[in-house]
Amino acid sequence: MYKENNKKTFLTIVLFAICSLSIAQKGKIDAIYSGIPWFDNNGKTVSAHGANIVKENGKYYLFGEFKTDTSNTFNGFSCYSSKDLYNWTFERIALPVQKSGVLGSDRVGERPKVMKCPKTGEFIMYIHADDLKYKDQYVGYATSKTINGEYIFRGPVLFEGKPIRKWDMGTFQDSDGSGYIITHSGNLYKLSSDYKSVKEQVVKDMTTHCEAPVIFKKDNTYFWLGSSLTSWERNDNYYFSAPSLKGPWKEHGIFAPKDSLTWNSQSTFVLPIVGSKETTYLFMGDRWAFPRQNSAATYVWQPLMVSSSSISLPDYKPSWKIDITKGTWSPSKMNYTEIENSDIKAIQYSGNWSQDNLSKISQSNSKGDSFSFNFKGTQVGFYSTSKMDGGFAAIEIKNKKGKTVLSSTIDMYCKYTENALRFLSPVLPKGNYIITVSVLGEHGNWYKKDGTGFGSTGDFVTLDKIIIKN
């Protein structure tokens, strides 16, 4: 669980502060893109990790951890809203850092989950609070009359008069309106009718680990997903199924191809999108990027294949569309002009870039090295290879007056080598721009309590191809 901040440089703070668009987005995002930073209506990175989604009055509300780029201390829980699941409006910090207590500024706050209590009509947010070493685990709750808050923190969710001392936590609302809390190690608690305390423990210590727990239901089958315990590192998540919440729970093993590390993500929620024709099950996963969790941690949202007794994520869909009225999904084709990394007339490299003979990817690990590209259009992005020795890259887009319109950071670390879309800008007013991507000379590392180290071994930034749209 425990990880330590590695490099807190002045640059980190400056980059975090400017990690935003100075102009609002001009057009709409047209699909769900996994593994790239998303930008909200203000041009700021969407920061909502360990999230869940609640639909209310035709809108989707996303709640999650509002991260910083500098440390793991609690920075509030965010709320965003969207009508299409592609474009997100920042509503507010739904539950801010408290002056003191279990959600104070010297604590950890994780995995907020909101449910609407059918009996009272109140919105209840469940949270995991802890000390910085994850030794003071605690499941608490906050309430609000409106979905977007501000939520008032009320204290622990009591079970037999005592707080639930667990870390990773999720929630599940059954079709009969009953609410449940799930925790790591296979514990399931049924809430009382006002959703503010536990009525009974339904499942106890079903398994070891099973962090980032998720339960959802299709027809008469319940599915329970979770991850192994590797801190911010991704692993092959696995699942159980049962005909009733009480069990018997059958273990099925992993649901994404072995060693894909759940397509390099960790589960946090499954949202059934019920439409007039079908139901699509939205798998929501986190691709963490400690310590730059605000700017560089991304989302892996995929359509989960669900049969009556099994689930799977058979392939990775970098971009796909969902019709929320019909409940159907479809792959999305990216129609962009491509510029290969070898096009040195179009791309200006500065510093010690080399081309890998086999993969034909340009790469550098020297701090300050960069590549730049001038373009006319509305959108720019690029593909590159994430790998074991990948590091952080800084991205800057300037308009023709030299004004910075976007600054961002991305992470090129992955435990396996993965070539994919790494960045896609918001839709900008049509014009002339220059994008510059620089090697930050930093990478993520973190440690579990037992001293096991995780993370990258180098600072490499790579480029496969740039893409633009007119």
232 contributes a contact to ligand GAL by CB under 6 A: yes
How would you list the strands of the sheet with 392-399, edge to edge? 347-350, 370-377, 431-439, 392-399, 404-411
Q: Kindly indicate which of the ranges 226-234, 256-264, 293-301, 343-351 contains the residues binding ligand GAL, using the contact rule CB under 6 A.
A: 226-234
Q: How far is the CB of 293 from ligand GAL (least distance, A)?
A: 10
3 contributes a contact to ligand GAL by CB under 6 A: yes
Q: How far is the CB of 96 from ligand GAL (least distance, A)?
A: 20
Residue with tokens 């963490």: 288
Q: Kindly indicate which of the ranges 7-15, 228-236, 255-263, 397-405 contains the residues binding ligand GAL, using the contact rule CB under 6 A.
A: 228-236
Helices of type H across 52-96:
none
C-alpha closest to that of 44 among 20, 67, 65, 23: 20
Dist CA 124 CA 117 (whole Å) = 7
C-alpha closest to that of 7 among 49, 67, 69, 68: 69
What does each C-alpha distance from 318 to 28, 383, 463 come to in angstroms?
Answer: 18, 11, 17
Query: Residue 245: left (phi > 0), alpha (psi -120 to 50), or beta?
Result: alpha
Dist CA 291 CA 310 (whole Å) = 35
Cβ–Cβ < 8 Å for 23, 429: yes
Dist CA 178 CA 174 (whole Å) = 5
- Binding ligand GAL (rule: CB under 6 A), the pick from 40, 69, 91, 211 is 211
Residue 378, phi then psi, degrees to nearest 5: -120, -15
Residue 105 has a CB neighbour count (10 Å cut-off) of: 12
261 contributes a contact to ligand GAL by CB under 6 A: no
State which residue, 50 or 441, has the beta carbon closest to ligand GAL: 50
Q: Kindly indicate which of the ranges 84-92, 96-104, 227-235, 244-252 contains the residues binding ligand GAL, using the contact rule CB under 6 A.
A: 227-235
State which residue, 110 or 369, has the beta carbon closest to ligand GAL: 110
- Binding ligand GAL (rule: CB under 6 A), the pick from 168, 396, 411, 442 is 168
225 contributes a contact to ligand GAL by CB under 6 A: no
- Binding ligand GAL (rule: CB under 6 A), the pick from 82, 231, 280, 341 is 231
50 contributes a contact to ligand GAL by CB under 6 A: yes
Q: How far is the CB of 73 from ligand GAL (least distance, A)?
A: 12
Q: Kindly indicate which of the ranges 224-232, 346-354, 381-389, 398-406 contains the residues binding ligand GAL, using the contact rule CB under 6 A.
A: 224-232
Helix (H, G, I), strand (E, B) or coil at 106: coil
- Binding ligand GAL (rule: CB under 6 A), the pick from 62, 212, 282, 424 is 212
State which residue, 11 or 132, has the beta carbon closest to ligand GAL: 132
C-alpha closest to that of 215 among 164, 260, 179: 179
What does each C-alpha distance from 254 to 181, 348, 351 come to in angstroms?
Answer: 23, 44, 43
216 contributes a contact to ligand GAL by CB under 6 A: no
297 contributes a contact to ligand GAL by CB under 6 A: no
Q: How far is the CB of 397 from ligand GAL (least distance, A)?
A: 32
Q: Kindly report whether the peptide bond that precedes residue 331 is cis, defined as omega within 30 degrees of 0.
A: no
Q: How far is the CB of 266 from ligand GAL (least distance, A)?
A: 6
State which residue, 411 or 464, has the beta carbon closest to ligand GAL: 411
Give the tokens for residue 246.
């009480």
Binding mask 171-200 for ligand GAL (x = CB under 6 A): ------------------------------
Q: How many residues bind ligand GAL (CB under 6 A)?
A: 12
Instruction: Give the binding site for ligand GAL (CB under 6 A).
Output: 1, 3, 50, 110-111, 168, 211-212, 229, 231-232, 266
